Structure formats: structure tokens, C-alpha cells
Structure 1
């Protein structure tokens, strides 16, 4: 008696096999395995006929914020736009990089870096505190709520202890202070200065936002993207993300995508 072939396999062969089951060039899989994996489907040119295949993981939208700790517009964007958007979206949708420096200037004085900030020495201190906080905490979900607390409070430079107690009690404020007062803080600010000066196009104001995602090369800034981020950051990220979107994206205002992008 001939072996029995399951009906499901026969149906699959009929569904996916072009030319009565003849494998296309480069396909080394039997017809009943063409939909067994993404590699097999690609080799046998049947991706569109394999609806059960898992979708590939989508890359997160990358957003970098170049800012100053005491800049009113920077604080407004971080507190009212960036932080709420981060809270609303799944972690895999959005990666954020914070670069506190902005319109500051640095110079080398007798082998040591000296910084001059747009809003004075207090802002330089705030920039370095936040840079050191990131360095010591490492984990974004640990330090971002603390920075939000600092930027939304009455004083960026005087509320570190209180903000740490609320949002990151496991982090010792003494470590952050030691960083600020030592060579590490200077090195971190020098790094931020270099990153800011390397921007293309050069930054002209703060906050300065760069984004990358589909149709948007890495670390791109345009007036259009800046305006969209400031008007509806949630809507922009939802539009740029290529993966499955959460329910919150359904109610967000969808901005016009950058030129050359489509959905």
C-alpha cells in the first residue's frame, strides 16, 4: 500500500508550489517544507504564500535629543513630549539618546576642559549632572525618570537627591557627585561636545532633534522632522515604526511622513 500523504501537506503543496511543485532555482527544500521557515520561503520564492510565517522583528525608531539643562524649550519638549511618548510606547518601538550640551562651548585650559554654557555656570553644572547620572545608572529606564524629575522641578541642580529617592533609590547620589567633581564628568562633557559639533547639518538651536527610521537615514535632522516631532512626537514615532503598532498609535495624530516615505 502506498504511504498516505496528509491532506494538509497536499493542500500546502497545491498552495505554494508553482509549476506543479517544481522547485525554483536555489530552492533545496521539498515542497511541503517551503513554508517551514523564513529562509526556506525566501529560497523558494514563496514568502507571499506563507501567511503563517512570523513577521521579522522591526527595528526601533532612533531619536536623539541635543539639549541644554536650563533651556526652557528643551525642558518643555523633554517633559511634555518626550517623556510621555516614552511611557506610552513599548520599549521595542523607541530608542532615545540624550546629549546635554547644546550651545555650550569648550576650550582646553592648561590640559583641562573648560565649558561655557548659554545659561551660565548653573547650566553647565546641570548638563554635567545629567551626563554623570546617565553614566552611573547606565540603564535608560533608570535614569530617564530622574532626568524628567530634574527638568520638571523647581531646580535642575538642587533636586538630585529628592529625584533619586523617588525614581532610583538604588542609585547613590554620591557616585553622581563624585563624577561631576572629577575627571569623569569632564570627559563625558567633552564627549557630548564632540557629538554635538559633529552633527550634520550643524545644529542651529536647541532642542535639536535627530531621528532615523524607514526612509530616514541615521541621525537625520530636517526642519520637517523637527516640526513633526514638536507637534506630535507620538504620531511621528507611530508612523515611522514598521512593526505591529500598539493601540495607542490608533488614536495619535498622524503627521505627514518625510518626503520619499510611504505607507
Structure 2
């Protein structure tokens, strides 16, 4: 199968202009962004339309939360992190610290008001900067903070424990500066764009909107045209002419009450049931069940 993929890439390479891009040929068809930058979107779509779907995508879990919400802390520490620890090979996690906060713009920067006060705004900002700075270590650090008695005070020790190469001063520079302000604004925009809109946290999205649906562009490939808007309010598609992999990336589940209940009852069981590949050995273990708790948007 690797030979088929290599042959496909070589075929694509031979049929495109040598336009410089920041991705290696093996990465051209891994995302819409890389395909567009390298000028091979049409070729990648056509190649995927004819190739068998041999790669099973991980179950994507997005958690919209706030740092001091008791229900968020309970779900993250007793469900999400333990499940990810055992099933990280078949799932991916995206954390968005913002929750029921509100933002305003004073002409210079964004101001944030949080449900549980200024301390929560600080906690949200610290975790946002940690997520931006520490890469693959970020989830462990955020878990460490949320599992601690004092989320804010635990930050420095948790960073030192899981990512000693990242200096706490650099995190606080982000927290107090324009970078943190812009990162939190991005969290606000992402939270505000949820469809359906959230009315409590933790708000859990399973296999949510892909990068394809977040971009504004027109894809024209041979016999079909897809027009998408950032808000996803306009979507004109000749579905019968779309390659299967495109359809799977557009028509995806965002959030339902049923998924929310299943995720907060036993995320582990839900991930195992939604994984389309061979079940890992861990999925044969007894499910983890926890109580649910929420912080409602006021």
C-alpha cells in the first residue's frame, strides 16, 4: 500500500508546476491547506477519489471549557484525560479554554469577563498560552493544573514537571501581552462559532468541523464544484459527484445531546464505539462511568 501512495504522489508531482511550498511531497495531500499552498488541490482530490480509504482517521474530541468550572474540571480529569491516556492512538483532543466568558474590544485590545471571576480569566489565559507553547506536552500540563487544588498556582509547577524546557516567564509574557490577548480572542471566536451554540460547559464536540469547512473557497475539480462559507450557512454540493473522502469531511457530527450524554457518562466507551479501525486491546476493558456536572451560560 505504501507503494501505491508513493506512486500516486509521484504522479501528482509530474503533473504540477514546480511551485515552492513549505510542505514535502509526502505531505501535499494530508490537508486542504497543504494542497492549496502547493498548488495540487485538484490532483489530491482526484487521487483520493480513486484510492481506497485505507487510513482510519482518529476520533476527534474538542472540549470547550473554562478553567474554574467544577463540571469542566470533573470531566477533564476523570473522563477525558484518562481516556486519552489509554486511547491516544485512536483519538485526538483539542482544548479550547473560554467557555461562558464574554469579550469586548476597547480600541486597543480585547477585554474578557469570565463566569467565575478574574481568577478564571487568568486561568483560561494561562492554559491558552500553555497550549500554544508546549505542543504535545500541553494536555498533560492542563490536566495537572485542573487536577490540583489551586489551578492558578499549580501552573508553574506543572509546566516545570512536564515540559522543563519551557520557561514560566515565557508563559507569563504571553499571558500579559498581545499574544495571549489574540490567542484568547481566537478561542472566543471559535466558541462563538459553535453550531449549535453552546449553552453550558463542558461542551463536547465529537468529530467536529474539519479545516475544509472552516475555510472560504471554491473547489473546482473536473465535474463538481463545492462552495463553502466560514459560517457553513451556504453549502451547494452535487453530492453524487463528490469523492467519498470529501463527503466524510463535510457531513460530520458537531454536537448533540445524545453524544454529550454518552461522552459525560463514559467517554471511553464512546470513543471505542466510534473508532472505525481494529479495536485496541484497551477497548475490551470495563467502561469508566462518572457523574455529570455543568456550568450553564447565563
Q: Give the counterpart of 1:134 among 115, 131, 136.
A: 131
Alignment-derived partner of residue 250 in structure 1: 284
Partner secondary structure for residue 126 of structure 1? helix
The answer to whether the 8 A contact 1:234-1:252 is kept is no
Alignment-derived partner of residue 65 in structure 1: 63
Matched, 1:185 2:151: no
Q: Give the Å deviation of 1:110.
A: 2.6
Q: 1:90 to 1:205 in 2, by over 3 A?
A: closer
Q: Give the Å deviation of 1:173.
A: 0.9
The answer to whether the 8 A contact 2:61-2:94 is kept is yes
Alignment-derived partner of residue 95 in structure 1: 92
Where do 5+ consecutive residues of structure 2 fail to align?
A: 6-51, 209-247, 290-298
Matched, 1:119 2:116: yes
Distance in structure 2 (CA, Å) of the matches to 1:119 and 1:225: 26
Q: Give the Å deviation of 1:239.
A: 0.6
- CA deviation map 1:159-205 (0-9, x unaligned): 12211222111211111110001000000110000000000000010
Partner secondary structure for residue 65 of structure 1? strand
The answer to whether the 8 A contact 2:59-2:92 is kept is yes
Q: Give the counterpart of 2:264 among 209, 227, 230.
A: 230
Alignment-derived partner of residue 196 in structure 1: 191
Normalised to the residue count of structure 1, the TM-score between the two structures is 0.72
Partner secondary structure for residue 61 of structure 2? strand
- CA deviation map 1:196-221 (0-9, x unaligned): 00000000100000001889944510
Distance in structure 2 (CA, Å) of the matches to 1:147 and 1:37: 41
The answer to whether the 8 A contact 1:239-1:254 is kept is no
Normalised to the residue count of structure 2, the TM-score between the two structures is 0.64
Where do 5+ consecutive residues of structure 1 fail to align?
A: 1-35, 39-53, 256-263
- CA deviation map 1:55-102 (0-9, x unaligned): 8221000110000000000000000000000110143x1111100000
Distance in structure 2 (CA, Å) of the matches to 1:105 and 1:84: 30
The answer to whether the 8 A contact 1:63-1:94 is kept is yes
Alignment-derived partner of residue 158 in structure 2: 163
Alignment-derived partner of residue 10 in structure 1: none
Distance in structure 2 (CA, Å) of the matches to 1:109 and 1:98: 27
CA RMSD of aligned residues (A): 2.7
Q: Which has the larger radius of gyration?
A: 1
